[in-house]
Every structure is written in C-alpha cells, then in structure tokens.
Amino acid sequence: MFSSAITTPQKLRKTRANKVINNWLSPTMWSKENLASDGFRVMMKVKNGMISTVLTLSGFHAFETGISSVAIDLSLFIKKAFRLDLVGAIKALGRAPLSPILAVIQGVKIKKAWRIGAKNSTEQKAIDYMVMANMRPEMNKVWQLGFIDQFKKSIRKKNYISAGTKLPLMILESLSAPLMKVWVPALKVSSFYKLASDYVESHPEATENDMLKNMAEISDGIDNRFGQVVYENLFWNNTIKDLAVGSSFSMGWSIGSIRDFGGSGIDTVKLLKNLRSAKNGEGITYRMAFTFAYIFTVGMFGGLMTKLLSGDNPKELKDYFYPKTGYKLPDGSDERLTIPSMVKDGFKALELYKEDGIVLGAIKFAGSKGSPLFTVLHDLTLNKDFYGVEVRNTEDPQYLQAKQNMEYLLKAITPISYTSSKKRTLMDPNMSLVQKSLPYLGFSRAPAYITNTESKKIINRLLNKKFGERVKTREEFEKSKAKTELRQKIYYGNATPEEILEAIKNGVIKSKEWEEFIEESKMDADVRNFKNLTNKEQEKVWMKINAEEKLRYILYLKEKLLQKLSDEKILGKKINWINYD
C-alpha cells in the first residue's frame, strides 16, 4: 500500500509527460506525404485566401489589436498600483493612449534584434525572455499565404505565365503584409516584453523554473490577445491541431478569447477565496487585469463614439459597446456600430444562450466560428445560400449554372467593408466622409439582436418561420432585393419618381399597388410587418409585448382581434375605442 501510494503519482506524471512529448513529435498534416495531406494543404491555401479577401480593406484586425495594446498598458497600471509602485503605474497610464504607436516602434526594434543581434541591454533582455517562453516574433511560415514568395519564385525562373496567374493573389497578400508582418508581430513582442519585465521586476527572487513557467504563461496570454498563435505551445496532437485550424475561421482568436476571458473568471474566483493576496497585487493575475482593462477601453471608446457621431451622451450599456451613429434604421431604431473587439462575442454568446439555451446556443456559437470554405461548400451542395436563395437554377444549361456558381463565389468573397458601406449609404447618399469610412476601419453595423426591441424580435421570428424555409429563386431574390432598396430610399426620402416608375415597369411593384407601396414604405419596418401579419400572428405578438410597444402597433390591429381585445384591459386600463383618423 505504501509503495503504491508513492509510485502512482510518479507513473501519472510519466504518463502525462509521455503524452505531451508524443503530441509534440506527432506528424503534422503539412509534413505527411499522402492524398489527405495534399488536400489539406490545398484547403488551407483556399481558406486563407478567402479570409484575406473578405477582410481586405478592413481595419478590424488593426483596430482590435490596437485596443489590446492599450489594455496591456492599463493592465500594468492596475498591477503596479496594487503593488504601490506609483511611479511605474503613472508611467504605464501615461503610455496607454499612444500605446499602439509606441509599441510598434519598440517591437520593430526587438524583431530586428532577434534577426541580427541585440544592440543594447533592453533588446537583449527581450530576446532572453522570448527564448525562455519559446515565443516566435512572427507567424510560422506554414500558416502564411506564401503568394508573394511564389510570385517571386516564378519571376526568378522567368515563368511569366505562372507569375501572371499569381499576381492577383500576390497583390492580395501585399495589402495585408503591413498588418500581418509588421503591425501585429511588433505589438506582440513589445507587449510581451512589457509584461515579462514587470514580472522580473516584481519577482527578484524568482528561480529559473519560476521564470520559465511564468514567461511561458505570459507568452500564451499574448497569443490569446493578438493572434498569430505559436500552436506548438498548445501541445496538442499535431494532426488534430491542423484539422482544427483548417476547419475554423481563426482558431487562435477563438481559443484565445476562451482562455483569456474564461481564465480571468477562474482567477477571480480564486482571488475571492483568498482576498489577502490582493494586497500586493499577487492575487490579481495579468489576464484578470487585462480583461478589466480591455472591457474598460472598449467601453470608453464606444461612449466617446456615441457622443461624437450622434451628439447624445451615453445613457445605456449599448451606448458604450455598440455606439449610436445618429442615423435611424428602416424600423425606426437607432443605427449602431459593432466595435472591432472580442467583447462582441460575449454579447453574441449571451443572446444565443437566451434564445436557444446553453447546449444549442454553444453549438450555434461554435458553428459561427467555422471556416468560410465550409460555408461555401455547404451552400453549393444544398444549392441554397444563407438567405435561402438558390445558388443556381438547376433547369438552366450547365454553362449557365457554372456562371451562377461563379457569381455566388465572387459574392462570398466580397470584402465585408464594401458590403457594409454600400448598405449604410442607402440611408444618406450625402453621408459625411467620416461616416462612410467607418466600415473600412472595421466598424460594421450592429446585429439585429442589439438594435431590436422584444416586439421586433417576435415579429421577425414569426416572419422567418413563415417565409424562411422556402428556397427562393434567384429572380425572386433580385426582385425582393430591389423592392427592399426602393422601400429604404422612400423611407429616407431619397427615391426619385423615375426610380418608382422604373420599378413598376420592371414588375418590382404592381401598377395597382404603387400608392399603397409608397405609403407602407414610409412606415417603420416593424409597424409595416405587424400590419401585414394574420389575426392569429398579431395576437401572439400582442400578448407578449409591453404597454409602450402596444401603443406603437395599436392602429394596425386586425378587426377581429380589435373586437376581441376591446373589452380587455389594454395599456393597463380600460380603453374606449375612438376614431384615430
């Protein structure tokens, strides 16, 4: 018994160590030479090319990592303030507003020192800390697009036809190179050095093992926040890791959010169990301080945007994380923007939990993080896109179907900044340059679950259930899209008589219904949708909404429902039906 009690933990440690080593040494999909690996390599090139195209001209990644850089300095302010290092805290706080610029300047120097050697003690310390953490100052070659190198290789070989085919992809990679090869790596190494230096400064008695352990943890945290993860440090089975990366939009960002924000929650629970450790800052981990600083930074920036864009002071939580632009959506609600940050995932997860519960919500959340290549293959296989529109007309000749497939693919890789900007200009063709540029800076329109009231959500669910299952033809979709755009122009007062006559001529609106169409287009979209619901559907909505929302729809109740409700308590009191004309 005594012998077993000693050897069992030893065997357990040995088993765990063996597993880690085996995972580290396991073959990767990149190194295997078989058909499956060839397919994987092609899949990764296509997936990375699609993502780069979709995110082209968008400042999302640059802005988000800039926020993370500011939050790093604010987290150091928190740590140093709790340690009563007031001078260090003030320095960190003073650095924060300019953190992205200062960090890039410092990071570029450290990266250069990594390649050619350090010129001073600061650069040497940064390199030493990076070696301890097994940190890489730039993205692994296998995860890069490689189109620039392939183009140069074709030019060197004087294979100009091959170079010509690679030119568009080379241009695509060149557009993202300043971000992916300079901005993000520089922010990463600078932020790592700041946190590593803070640890060394606050732990002068740290042993070599302590240093190795904590440098690795700090490096993992930097990967969580800035992406370009050193996947080798996960110690997963390499085949499983490669397949996970290939099947997701960005596995590094996804697991990084979970590890950082989820981990800070665990750390907070530990701190609450031992509040004494907060006195000298030891109980407050770097990820706890970063999580608070990050959310604070996003909120402050969002509140400032709400004030600058709409002229209104922030009044509710959404005003800080989904700033108002000053424009109204077609349903009368305030247009809001999504700030490029990881905070949006928290709101999305909460909404899915409320709508679908924890299990189905988690599945849907994970599904939303999948590779865009899988979405395309799914749509092509089922011949139905996200909006329920057929990808191709199966009754058309094969060459036309091929053309329709290509049109769908081009639409699937259209830069999201362009799509978002086009939608916003429907509200105001004379929109200011600042407002027009927001989508290109990474600010997309907030999702409907943020801007919609409860009544609007109920109405939309009823309409989706009623019309969402049927597959629409391409012709039906184009007609519906034209009708929607014309409605919006009428709503915002931007439609011309010529556009309305053209719509009648093309059958977008019926000649007998054009007056009604114009009148309904002037209504808020949710009111119009409520008006066109059936008696039973209106009743479902009516029974679930509050008094203020009932006032919004009361004029458009169906006659039968009006009679049924006339003797009931509505809006909290008996009402006498009067002529509202």
Rounded Cα distance between 461 and 296, Å, is 34
Question: What is the DSSP code string of 360-386?
Answer: HHHHHHHHTTB-HHHHHHHHHHHT--T
Q: Which of 275, 22, 258, 232 is nearest to 143 (CA)?
A: 232
Residue 576: pLDDT band with limits 50, 70, 90: very low
CA 319, CA 299: separation in Å to the nearest integer?
Answer: 8
Q: pLDDT (tens digit, 9 = 90+) per residue, 69-95?
A: 999 999 999 999 988 899 999 999 999
pLDDT for position 213: 92
Asked whether 173 and 148 are in contact (CB, 8 A), the reply is: yes
Average pLDDT value for residue range 26-36 = 78
Residue 575: band (very low, low, confident or very high) from pLDDT cuts 50, 70, 90? very low
> DSSP assignment of 53-98, as one string?
HHTTT--HHHHHHHHHHHHHHHHHHHHHHHTT-HHHHHHHHHHGGG
pLDDT at 225 over 90: no
Question: What's the rounded Cα separation, in Å, for the pair 110 and 113?
Answer: 5
Runs of H (alpha helix) within 83-183: 86-95, 99-116, 121-133, 147-156, 160-177
Question: Among residues 289, 214, 296, 287, which one has the least CA distance to residue 257?
Answer: 287
User: Distances from the Cα of 193 to the Cαs of 95, 107, 135, 248, in angstroms?
Assistant: 15, 9, 11, 30
Residue 287 pLDDT more than 70?
A: yes
**3-state class of 327 per DSSP?**
strand
pLDDT digits (tens, 9 = 90+) for 515-572: 899 999 999 999 999 998 999 999 889 988 888 888 889 989 988 888 888 755 544 4
Contacts of 400 (CB under 8 A, 6+ apart): 392, 393
What are 395-436's pLDDT values in tens digits? 899 999 999 999 999 888 888 888 888 888 888 888 888 898
Per-residue pLDDT at 581 exceeds 70: no
324-328: strand order across its sheet? 324-328, 334-338, 444-445
Indicate the pLDDT class of residue 3, thresholds 50, 70 and 90: very low
The answer on pLDDT for 127 being more than 80 is: yes
pLDDT at position 15 is 62
> Given this model, what pLDDT does residue 385 score?
87
Lowest mean pLDDT segment, chosen from 168-172, 342-346, 460-464, 514-518:
168-172
pLDDT exceeds cutoff 50 at 579: no
Of 150-164, 226-240, 543-557, give the lowest mean pLDDT range: 226-240
Q: What average pLDDT does range 150-169 have in this prediction?
A: 85
pLDDT digits (tens, 9 = 90+) for 363-384: 888 888 888 888 899 899 989 8
How many other C-beta atoms can be found within 10 angstroms of the C-beta atom of residue 15? Answer: 10
- CA quadruple 411, 416, 420, 421: dihedral, nearest 10: -100
- Residue 578 pLDDT exceeds 50: no
Predicted confidence at residue 453, as pLDDT, reads 86
Where does the pLDDT of residue 573 fall: very low under 50, low under 70, confident under 90, or very high at 90 and above?
very low
Whether residue 20 is predicted with pLDDT greater than 70 in this model: the reply is no
Position 272 confidence tier, pLDDT thresholds 50, 70, 90: confident
Number of other residues whose CB lies within 10 A of the CB of residue 302 = 25
Are 415 and 474 in contact, with CB atoms under 8 Å apart?
A: no
> 218 pLDDT band (50/70/90 cuts)?
very high
Greater confidence (12 vs 308) lies with: 308
CB 534 within 8 A of CB 528: no
Which pLDDT score, from 0 to 100, does residue 574 have? 45
| Interval 336-362: pLDDT, tens | 999 999 999 899 989 988 888 989 988
pLDDT per residue as tens digits for the range 303-335:
999 999 999 999 999 999 999 999 999 888 999
In 429-572, DSSP assigns E strands to 444-445, 569-570
* pLDDT score, position 5: 42
> What pLDDT, on the 0 to 100 scale, is given for residue 91?
95
Alpha helix positions (H), 452-473 = 454-467
Percent of the chain with pLDDT over 70: 90
Task: Report percent pLDDT > 90 for the chain.
Answer: 37
Q: What is the mean pLDDT of residues 3-26?
A: 58
**pLDDT at 276 exceeding the cut of 60:** yes
Tell me which residue of 144, 171, 155, 179 sits closest to 41, measured CA to CA: 144
pLDDT for the residue 6? 43
Phi, psi of 472 (to 5 degrees): -90, 145
Per the CB < 8 A criterion, the answer to whether 197 and 134 are in contact is no
Parse the chain into domains and list their residue ranges.
2-284
- Give me the chain's average pLDDT, please: 85
Give the model's pLDDT for residue 31: 75
pLDDT band at 229 (very low <50, low <70, confident <90, very high): confident
- Amino acid occupying residue 205: E
Q: What does the longest C-alpha to C-alpha distance in the chain come to?
A: 94
The pLDDT, as a whole number, for residue 1 is 36
Q: From residue 370, how far is each of 236, 247, 301, 313, 340 by CA, in Å?
A: 19, 6, 29, 37, 19
Average pLDDT over residues 494-500: 90
Contact residues for 215 (Cβ-Cβ < 8 A; gap 6+)? 129, 132, 133, 135, 196, 199
- The answer to whether residue 233 scores a pLDDT higher than 80 is no
